[in-house]
């Protein structure tokens, strides 16, 4: 079928951020906006003629129409076939798995992750490479370059595909395969974990609550936790994905998953609580009466991973993003394995995973994952926790407290200053950057600065260099404060202040993190002058 060539013009601002391009939905729905970006992805990766792509998204508003547009562009550009989740749905980790399972030339994932969805909210699109992972910077740079020079896109004149019917169909000359979004992913999970042990745990009366936040993990969690593993019906709540996530904010943290937090802190709390985000790659873990920070969860999972059959032979190494606490580093030290510190963004783990240097990795931003796919994976983390709980026969609280007694506790918190005027946020960041040489030796709030630096990363596998990845102020005694500008927001700028202090005194391991970090918080504000620059005297989100 002859493609239709449509003349277009470059559109400003189509630069991928931490994880793909995220904009207001109305922006993505604007004339030629999506078409330009998809054509630029195709051009940036050297064309898609004869190639196969996985396509799916988290079901947010515009997901289905966007898939129809993408399918026509893929056909217009000569793609051989696309594999699409039924009704256009695929969680991000399930999409990563399908890319790997089918050996495709990559995939397009439609999601703005934990950002709200709807006509007035957010939309996003990213390209994942044939290893299943988010495109690295050398690829996103080419895609962005293509967005600045585009003058036409190729599509076909065709009616919409029926996204609801499983099986094969044709769009022009291109084959379209509609697949069950859950089945292959569920098989993968069954191959990694001791499902019999988890079934026995549930059969013994163990209770859990999984909050799918009206987002993509609902069908996955219901199929795996309730239908396969025997968790009581109703263990999974908010399980039906909706285009605006039930009007909520599908970000699994103590602010946006407050209903779950209240239940887990209440007198009738289940044994285990968890939540996942819009596209199913993030997770929040709770036990009865305890919230587990993502950094602590990563450390705990690394320490106990051998409980699961997939990791019974031990871990090759671990990796964490720079702002993530160093808790996992000490686990690695004890295990005698390598620990890597990468910039924020799952794409930086890809080479380490591909090279077999790390088995488990994670980030403070509620992401944990392993070699099984090349994305972080919310349900995977929940299942590894369940596997560990089943094998150790401990409670979440006992596991964490024993971990802290053993390794010390990295008290940790992230303070977000959202929706700040972009110029003010950059001025604050630039002032700290300029002050770096003067900071060592200064004392603020009783803490003396040991070193100050801007994080840069040299990828140990391919040698690529990534500069300007966040500012670190380290204090004597092991505490530190990190300042970054978020790369995933769609309005103004977000300053993220990450705070950490190591406590090894056995009598001080169960305190309140904000209290334990109060001096680091004061010192960070004295140095960074966030209020003077932005007018904000307090963060709007604390996790
Ligand atoms: C994305 C990336 C993560 C990153 C997070 C936070 O997560 O995949 O690797 O840690 O953004 O980014 P930032 O601090 O720049 O906002 P997700 O879940 O939004 O895809």
Per residue in 198-222, pLDDT tens? 999 999 999 999 999 999 999 999 9
Distance 19 CA to ligand 1 centre (A): 6
Average pLDDT across the chain, whole number: 96
How far is ligand 1, taken at its centre, from the CA of residue 366, in Å? Answer: 9
Q: What is the pTM of this model?
A: 0.95
**Which of 245, 251, 350, 367 to probe ligand 1 with, by most ligand atoms within 8 A of CB?**
367
Q: Which atom of ligand 1 is nearest to the CA of 20?
A: 20
Going from the C-alpha of 318 to that of each of 321, 371, 508, the distances in angstroms are: 11, 11, 27
Instruction: Indicate the pLDDT class of residue 1, thresholds 50, 70 and 90.
Output: confident
pLDDT at 189 over 90: yes
Mutation test residue for ligand 1: of 345, 350, 498, the one with most atoms within 8 Å of CB: 345
Q: What is the mean pLDDT of residues 113-132?
A: 96
What pLDDT digit, counting tens, does each position of 35-66 carry? Answer: 999 999 999 999 999 999 999 999 999 999 99
Nearest protein Cα to ligand 1, atom 9: 345
What pLDDT band is residue 165 in, cutting at 50, 70 and 90? very high
Domains in the chain: ranges and CATH = 4-181 (3.40.120.10), 185-407 (3.40.120.10), 409-542 (3.30.310.50)
Q: pLDDT by residue (tens digit) across 468-517?
A: 999 999 999 999 999 999 988 778 899 999 999 999 999 999 999 999 99
81: three-class secondary structure by DSSP: strand
Sequence-ordered list of residues with C-beta below 8 angstroms from that of 100, at least 6 positions apart, any chain: 131, 132, 373, 374
Cα–Cα distances in angstroms (integers) from residue 298 to residues 33, 172, 253, 404, in the given order: 38, 46, 15, 13
Q: Quick one: pLDDT band at residue 130, thresholds 50, 70, 90? A: very high
Task: Work out which ligand 1 atom sits closest to the CA atom of 281.
Answer: 18
- How much distance in Å is there from the Cα of 251 to the middle of ligand 1? 11
Ligand 1 pocket mutation, candidates 16, 18, 490, 492, criterion most atoms within 8 A of CB: 18
pLDDT in tens, 3-30: 999 999 999 999 998 889 999 999 999 9
Quote the pLDDT of residue 491: 81
Q: What is the pLDDT of residues 425-480, one digit of tens each?
A: 999 999 999 999 999 999 999 999 999 999 999 999 999 999 999 999 999 999 99
What are 390-423's pLDDT values in tens digits?
A: 999 999 999 999 999 999 999 999 999 999 999 9
Angle at Cα 90 formed by Cα 221 and Cα 6, nearest 5°?
A: 165
Q: How far does the centroid of ligand 1 lie from the alpha carbon of residue 204, in Å? A: 37
Identify the residue with better confidence: 1 or 243. Answer: 243
Residues 518-527 have a mean pLDDT of 96
Q: Ligand 1: which residue has its CA nearest to atom 13?
A: 486
Contact 469, 453 (CB under 8 A): no
pLDDT digits (tens, 9 = 90+) for 348-380: 999 999 999 999 999 999 999 999 999 999 999
The pLDDT assigned to 490 comes to 78
Q: How confident is the model at residue 318 (pLDDT cuts 50, 70, 90)?
A: very high
Q: How far is the centre of ligand 1, averaged over its atoms, from the C-alpha of 285 (Å)?
A: 18
Distance 488 CA to ligand 1 centre (A): 6
Report, as an integer, the average pLDDT of 280-289.
98
Instruction: Pick the atom of ligand 1 nearest to 282's CA.
Output: 18
Atom 1 (ligand 1) nearest CA: 19
**In the predicted model, what is the mean pLDDT of residues 132-137?**
94
Token pair 């263990």: residue:
235
Whole-number pLDDT of residue 492: 87
Decide: 396 and 287 in contact? Cβ < 8 Å: yes
Pairing mode, strands 447-454 and 443-444: antiparallel
Structure confidence at residue 272 (pLDDT)? 98
Name the residue of 321, 322, 365, 486 to mutate for ligand 1: max ligand atoms within 8 A of Cβ: 365
- Summarize pLDDT for 63-80 with one digit per residue, the tens: 999 999 999 999 999 999
Please check the confidence at residue 184 and state whether its pLDDT lies above 80. Answer: yes
Which atom of ligand 1 is nearest to 115's Cα?
Answer: 19
Which residues are part of the catalytic machinery? 113
**CA 343 / ligand 1 centre spacing (Å):** 11
What is the pLDDT, as a whole number, of residue 531? Answer: 95
Ligand 1 binding pocket (C-beta < 6 A) is: 18-19, 113-114, 281-282, 321, 344-346, 363, 365, 367, 486-488, 496
416 phi, psi to nearest 5 deg:
-105, 130
* Residue 234 dihedral angles phi and psi, to the nearest 5°: 95, -5
Say what the alpha-carbon torsion angle 2, 73, 128, 176 is, to the nearest 10 degrees: -70
Cα 140 from Cα 144, distance rounded (Å): 6
Residue 494 alpha carbon, nearest atom of ligand 1: 16
pLDDT at residue number 18: 82
297-316 mean pLDDT: 98
């Amino acid at each position: 079928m002859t493609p239709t060539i449509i003349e277009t013009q470059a559109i400003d601002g189509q630069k991928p951020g931490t994880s793909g391009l995220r904009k207001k939905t109305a922006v993505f729905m604007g004339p030629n906006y999506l078409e330009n970006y998809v054509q630029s992805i195709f051009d940036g990766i050297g064309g898609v003629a004869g190639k196969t792509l996985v396509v799916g998204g988290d079901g947010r508003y515009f997901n289905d129409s966007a898939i129809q547009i993408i399918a026509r562009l893929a056909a217009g550009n000569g793609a051989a076939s696309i594999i699409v989740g039924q009704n256009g749905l695929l969680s991000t980790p399930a999409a990563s798995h399908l890319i790997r399972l089918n050996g495709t030339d990559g995939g397009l994932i439609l999601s703005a992750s934990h950002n709200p969805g709807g006509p007035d909210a957010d939309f996003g699109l990213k390209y994942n490479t044939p290893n299943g992972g988010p495109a690295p910077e050398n690829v996103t740079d080419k895609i962005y370059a293509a967005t600045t020079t585009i003058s036409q896109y190729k599509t076909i004149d065709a009616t919409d595909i029926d996204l609801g019917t499983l099986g094969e169909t044709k769009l022009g000359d291109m084959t379209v395969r509609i697949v069950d979004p859950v089945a292959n992913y569920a098989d993968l999970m069954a191959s990694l974990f001791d499902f019999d042990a988890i079934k026995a745990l549930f059969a013994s009366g163990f209770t859990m609550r999984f909050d799918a936040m009206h987002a993509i993990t609902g069908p996955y969690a219901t199929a795996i936790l309730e239908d396969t593993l025997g968790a009581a019906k109703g263990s999974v709540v908010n399980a039906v994905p909706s285009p605006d996530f039930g009007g909520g904010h599908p970000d699994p943290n103590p602010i946006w998953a407050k209903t779950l937090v209240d239940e887990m802190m209440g007198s009738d709390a289940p044994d285990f609580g968890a939540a996942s985000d819009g596209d199913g790659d993030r997770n929040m873990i709770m036990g009865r009466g305890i919230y587990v920070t993502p950094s602590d969860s990563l450390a705990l999972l690394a320490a106990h991973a051998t409980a699961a059959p997939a990791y019974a032979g031990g871990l090759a190494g671990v990796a964490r993003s720079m702002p993530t606490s160093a808790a996992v580093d000490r686990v690695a030290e004890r295990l005698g394995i390598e620990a890597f510190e990468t910039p924020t963004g799952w794409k930086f783990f890809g080479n380490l995973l591909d090279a077999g240097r790390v088995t488990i990795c994670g980030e403070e931003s509620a992401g944990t994952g392993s070699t099984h796919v090349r994305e972080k994976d919310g349900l995977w983390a929940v299942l590894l926790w369940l596997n560990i709980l089943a094998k150790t026969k401990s409670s979440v609280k006992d596991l964490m407290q024993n971990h802290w007694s053993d390794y010390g506790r990295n008290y940790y918190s992230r303070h977000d200053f959202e929706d700040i005027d972009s110029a003010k946020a950059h001025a604050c960041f630039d002032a700290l950057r300029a002050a770096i040489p003067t900071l060592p030796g200064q004392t603020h709030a009783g803490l003396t600065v040991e070193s100050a630096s801007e994080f840069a990363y040299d990828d140990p596998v391919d040698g690529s260099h990534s500069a300007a990845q966040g500012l670190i102020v380290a204090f004597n005694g092991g505490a530190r404060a990190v300042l970054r500008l978020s790369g995933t927001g769609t309005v103004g700028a977000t300053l993220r202040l990450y705070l950490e202090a190591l406590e090894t005194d056995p009598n001080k391991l169960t305190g309140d993190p904000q209290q334990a970090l109060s001096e680091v918080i004061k010192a960070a504000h004295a140095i960074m002058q966030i209020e003077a620059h932005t007018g904000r005297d307090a963060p709007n989100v604390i996790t």
